[in-house]
Amino acid sequence: MECIAKKEKLLGLLAMAATLLIWASFFISLRASGQSPLTVGDIALLRFVPAALVFGILSLPKTKQIKATAKRYLLAIAIGAGLPFFLLAANGLRLAPVADGASLIPGILPLFVSSIAAYCYREKISNIRKLGISLIFIGIGLFITHSLSSGQHQVLQGHGLLLTASFSWAWYTIGMRVSGLSPIAGGAILAISACLLLPVLYTMGWVEFNLMSAPTNDVIFHLCIQGIAAGIIANFSYGYAISRLGAEMSAALGSFTPVIAALMAVVIFDESLTLTTATAMGLIVIGALSASEIIKLRPTIIRSLAKPTNP
pLDDT reading at 243 higher than 80: no
- What pLDDT was estimated at residue 301? 39
**pLDDT level of residue 199 (50, 70, 90 thresholds):** very high
Q: Give pLDDT tens digits for 211-230.
A: 888 888 889 999 999 999 98
Stretch among 240-254, 263-277, 295-309 having the lowest mean pLDDT:
295-309
Q: Give pLDDT tens digits for 23-50.
A: 889 888 888 877 788 899 999 999 999 9
Q: How far is CA 135 from the centre of its chain?
A: 20
> In the predicted model, what is the mean pLDDT of residues 292-305?
43
Yes or no: say if 305 and 127 are a contact pair by the CB < 8 Å rule: no
DSSP per-residue letters across 181-203: --HHHHHHHHHHHHHHHHHHHHH
> What's the whole-model pTM score?
0.78
Distance CA 259, CA 244 (A): 23
List the one residue out of 106, 226, 228, 242 whose CA is nearest residue 182.
242
DSSP per-residue letters across 31-72: HHHTTSS--HHHHHHHHHHHHHHHHHHHTGGGHHHHHHS-HH
Higher pLDDT, residue 9 or 192: 192
**pLDDT level of residue 146 (50, 70, 90 thresholds):** confident
> In the predicted model, what is the mean pLDDT of residues 42-64?
93
Q: How far is CA 299 from the centre of its chain?
A: 24
Query: HEC profile for 244-261?
Result: HHCHHHHHHHHCCHHHHH
